[in-house]
Structure 1
Amino acid sequence: MITDAQKKKIIQIVNVMETGTPEGKYDQVTLLADGKGGVKQITYGRSQATEQGNLKNIIERYVNAGGKFAANFEPYLPKIGKQSLVNDDEFKRLLKVSAQQDPIMHDAQDATFEILYYVPATHFFNAEGFTLPLSMLVIYDSFIHSGGVPAVVRARFPEKTPANGGDEKAWVTAYTKARQDWLANHPKKAVRPSVYRTKSYLVAIQQDNWMLAQPLNAHGVIVP
């Protein structure tokens, strides 16, 4: 079972991987060529929700909660994920200013990342028989960054999950190495530099930091 303190550290580490700080940059707006067909898209917030992914969920949640800029965002709801907003300066301004000035935007982001990423990651973690905090970190990071635990990566190594009679540490190590190779050679060039994530986790594995009791170097940021 993952304790509240361990969950907090796991989220802080993934926040660093996404926006460079343990607290997460709720107002960060990034344009990356990692959309369908390699097109640019907006990524936003503490864990960088994508324009073609769950950005709309955050904005809908914010509008429904009556955020300070809800009326400004409403006209954009039918557009998000349907047409590119990369060049819409007003939309990008609203993303930044809402996170800077309205705590409701923080709440909307936290709820979205919890419900759509952490809860499914926890389900996979429990269903497959994992128990160690570093395993949960690797799994949650994969859900945030890769949308889950991709079958294409799992097919690259023979180890089984604990629920299927495998060794937990062996599976997590093999998965992290396979994911690193997959990211490094990803067809979308914008994805390839993200191997800093798996490199950090492989160091933690080498340090036997399975309980996350030691500080973890997350891409140059030490999370105690």
Structure 2
Amino acid sequence: MKRNSRHLISLVLLGMVTLSSFSDYFSMSTVTAKADTVNSTILAEKGGTYWLTKEQKHRAEELTSVFENSTTELDYAYGENLGDGRGITCGRAGFCTGTGDAILVVKKYMDKKPGNILSKYLPALTELENNRIQTKHDQEDVSSLDKIGNFISDWAIAAKDPDFRAIQDSVVDELYYIPSAKKADLLGLKLPLSRAELYDAIIQHGNEQNDLDSIDSLIARATEMSGGTPRSNVDEKVWLDNFLNIRKACLSYCYKEGSREEWADSFGRVDVFKKLVKDENYYLDKPITIEGTSWDGMVVP
């Protein structure tokens, strides 16, 4: 399933806006009471009132696993060069060698088990990360890894180790689940489906500042379109619908040229969330049968 730039106009039609940052927008128009902001942050640190339950989180993770790896089982051993400008994509949440998260997994594994099968790649991963920071661009080149060994195969071998799988879980929480939950707290999102959507979006779009494809940019544009957030009394279902439309437009034609073809193949993950809205499965308390996308017929129990 391949697409092209025919969807560029959708970005314009959806009212794309330019905002300096998600946090700046909040400070201007949505978080109006300092005390409320502080209280939300404290709740977020502890796990707020509306954070996903264990069962809801598991279902959200299974759904994202379908999108990332075409299976409801968390695929810790997965590895592939998708040609999306991010290097090798690997593990249960699609960690990438060119975006700064795969190296974090490898570093934590090194701390736990020095001299493990992935340790030999750390110098090359560090060089890629330094280049990413310096250029402010994802790194697609994996030739330095290929000179050392078969990174994909070695990652799969490491994934047989329960400690390595546990590290992947902890990095997902650290980089994606907890940040997305804190953003949801600031937005005033209460519905588990809204929170699951932010979690899926942050995994795919990332959490980089000043990135027009990142989750904060999507949030800012959806907030602008909605005239505020649920915290400022905007109907949460309206805000969620606008966020889904903005995200689908971004996937159809994103700013990062290297990611356009791959992302254009994946806008069906937004359609799955739209179907959940249509089915009013706002609490993720029913099995999810995926229809009409690349994952047609798959069931999240």
State TM-score, norm by structure 2: 0.67
Give 2:77's match in structure 1, choosing from 18, 27, 38.
27
Q: State the Cα distance separating 1:168 from its structure 2 match.
A: 0.7
Task: Kindly indicate whether residue 111 of structure 2 is the aligned counterpart of residue 64 of structure 1.
Answer: yes
Residue of structure 1 equivalent to 2:262? 190
Task: Kindly indicate whether residue 300 of structure 2 is the aligned counterpart of residue 223 of structure 1.
Answer: yes
Name the larger-Rg structure.
2
Q: Amino acid of the residue matched to residue 186 of structure 2?
A: A
Closer/same/farther in 2, CA of residues 152 and 81 from structure 1, 3 Å limit: farther
Of residues 210-219 and 114-123 in structure 1, the stretch that sits farther from structure 2 once superposed is 210-219
Residue 125 of structure 1 aligns to a residue whose secondary structure is helix
Please give the alpha-carbon distance, in whole angstroms, between the structure 1 residues aligned to 2:112 and 2:283.
Answer: 37
Task: Kindly indicate whether residue 217 of structure 2 is the aligned counterpart of residue 151 of structure 1.
Answer: yes
Please give the alpha-carbon distance, in whole angstroms, between the structure 2 residues aligned to 1:114 and 1:126.
Answer: 16
CA contact (8 A) 1:52 1:81 kept: no
Residue 169 of structure 1 aligns to a residue whose secondary structure is helix
Matches within 5 A, 1:28-43: 28-35=78-85, 41-43=87-89
Please give the alpha-carbon distance, in whole angstroms, between the structure 2 residues aligned to 1:151 and 1:217.
Answer: 30
Closer/same/farther in 2, CA of residues 117 and 152 from structure 1, 3 Å limit: closer
Please give the alpha-carbon distance, in whole angstroms, between the structure 2 residues aligned to 1:12 and 1:91.
Answer: 25
Residue of structure 2 equivalent to 1:52? 98
Q: Amino acid of the residue matched to residue 140 of structure 1?
A: Y
- Deviation readout 1:38-89 (Å, 9 max, x if unpaired): xx6100001110111200011111111117xx44322311211634335614
Task: Kindly indicate whether residue 120 of structure 2 is the aligned counterpart of residue 75 of structure 1.
Answer: yes
Residue of structure 2 equivalent to 1:169? 237
Please give the alpha-carbon distance, in whole angstroms, between the structure 1 residues aligned to 2:117 and 2:167.
Answer: 16
State TM-score, norm by structure 1: 0.89
Listed as ranges, the gaps of 5+ residues in structure 2 are 1-49, 129-140, 208-214
Residue of structure 2 equivalent to 1:85? 142
Q: Amino acid of the residue matched to residue 106 of structure 2?
A: I
RCO (CA 8 Å, sep 6+): is it higher in 1 or 2? 2
Please give the alpha-carbon distance, in whole angstroms, between the structure 2 residues aligned to 1:71 and 1:113.
Answer: 21
Q: State the Cα distance separating 1:116 from its structure 2 match.
A: 0.6
Q: State the Cα distance separating 1:131 from its structure 2 match.
A: 0.7
Q: State the Cα distance separating 1:128 from its structure 2 match.
A: 1.1
Q: State the Cα distance separating 1:7 from its structure 2 match.
A: 1.2
Matches within 5 A, 1:99-178: 99=159, 101-148=160-207, 149-151=215-217, 154-155=220-221, 158-159=225-226, 160-178=228-246
Q: Amino acid of the residue matched to residue 96 of structure 1?
A: A
Q: Amino acid of the residue matched to residue 85 of structure 1?
A: V
Residue of structure 2 equivalent to 1:205? 277
Taking only aligned residues, the RMSD between alpha carbons, in angstroms, comes to: 1.9
Q: Amino acid of the residue matched to residue 95 of structure 1?
A: W
- Deviation readout 1:5-29 (Å, 9 max, x if unpaired): 1111111111111111222111111
Q: State the Cα distance separating 1:152 from its structure 2 match.
A: 5.2
Please give the alpha-carbon distance, in whole angstroms, between the structure 1 residues aligned to 2:83 and 2:126.
Answer: 15
Please give the alpha-carbon distance, in whole angstroms, between the structure 2 residues aligned to 1:60 and 1:52.
Answer: 15
CA contact (8 A) 1:29 1:45 kept: yes
- Percent sequence identity over matched residues? 25
